Amino acid sequence: MSLSKHTRRACLTLAALAMVASHAWSQTAPAPRVKFATSAGDFVVEVYPDKAPKTVENFLQYVKDKHYDGTVFHRVINNFMVQGGGFDTAYAQKPTRPPVQHEGREALGKGGDKNIVGTLAMARTNDPDSASSQFFINVKDNDFLNPTLIPPGDPVPKFEYQGRVYENTPRAQLLNAPQLFGYTVFGKVVSGMDVVNKIKAVPTGASGPFPGDVPKTAIVINSATLIK
């Protein structure tokens, strides 16, 4: 039995409305939040899968796997950042999954935050694609950590970096320059920044394998829990 033109038109209209509604829901869905319960107090971060989807997925999987439970903030530098998520209370490094692809430029290009006070970013080595479980919270505006957006064109007609002007530079050369990747911001602290400020101010020194910047009294993440 075939549908009438009127019925087919109605079905198409309903399908179109459903797609619009689904898109609107995805655009307005609340950002996931994670509560960190630490020995210094609790704070909550909000993460943005619309800005850095792979990074957020990676971070939330570590949360779901309870990877962060029992880890410490092993690198704390007042007037810079606090870093954790990689070492247990004996300063043994926890095993991780393969690293996640760097998304700093993409996130910034989508209107994401820069490395400003209270933002959450992935820690990494000199390799831009080396981030795994470790993260840091900026406790000041760290402009030098921001990814550098590359202007259009190939070659790029004009590019300025640290006060120097480059002209007619091959695009690939700029895209692959390690110093231009920066650090991927994928969330921010939405409550408990007073706790983060308490952590940043603790006395530090050498401990375990680290020559400095380790809290003299361990700041332990008792639990990290997805709350929405």
pLDDT score at 28: 67
C-alpha distances out from residue 223 to 41, 68, 226, Å: 11, 7, 10
Q: How far apart are CA 196 and CA 190, in angstroms?
A: 11
pLDDT score at 214: 98
Between these two residues, 84 and 12, which has the higher pLDDT value?
84
**In this structure, are residues 60 and 226 in contact, taking their beta carbons and an 8 Å threshold?**
yes
Whether residue 5 has pLDDT greater than 80: no
The model's pLDDT over 22-72, given as tens digits with 9 standing for 90+, comes to: 454 445 688 999 999 999 999 999 999 999 999 999 999 999 999 999 999
HEC profile for 161-207? ECCEEEEEECHHHHHCCHHHCCCCEEEEEEECHHHHHHHHCCCEEEE
pLDDT score at 26: 45
Q: Which CATH superfamily is domain 30-147+182-226 in?
A: Cyclophilin-like (2.40.100.10)
pLDDT score at 168: 94
Consecutive H or E run containing 43: strand 41-47
In sequence order, the 6+-apart residues with CB closer than 8 A to the CB of 57 are 49
**In this structure, are residues 73 and 87 in contact, taking their beta carbons and an 8 Å threshold?**
no
Residue 201: pLDDT band with limits 50, 70, 90? very high
Q: How far apart are CA 114 and CA 143, in angstroms?
A: 7
CB atoms within 10 A of CB 111: 9
Whether residue 149 has pLDDT greater than 80: yes
The model's pLDDT over 208-219, given as tens digits with 9 standing for 90+, comes to: 999 999 999 999
Consecutive H or E run containing 23: helix 5-28
Q: How far apart are CA 220 and CA 200, in angstroms?
A: 13
What's the whole-number average pLDDT of the chain?
91
Q: Which amino acid is at 12?
A: L
pLDDT score at 3: 46
Tokens of 55: 């990074």
The model's pLDDT over 8-22, given as tens digits with 9 standing for 90+, comes to: 555 455 555 555 444
pLDDT score at 4: 55
pLDDT score at 27: 55
Q: Where are the domains of the chain?
A: 30-147+182-226
pLDDT score at 8: 52
pLDDT score at 163: 87
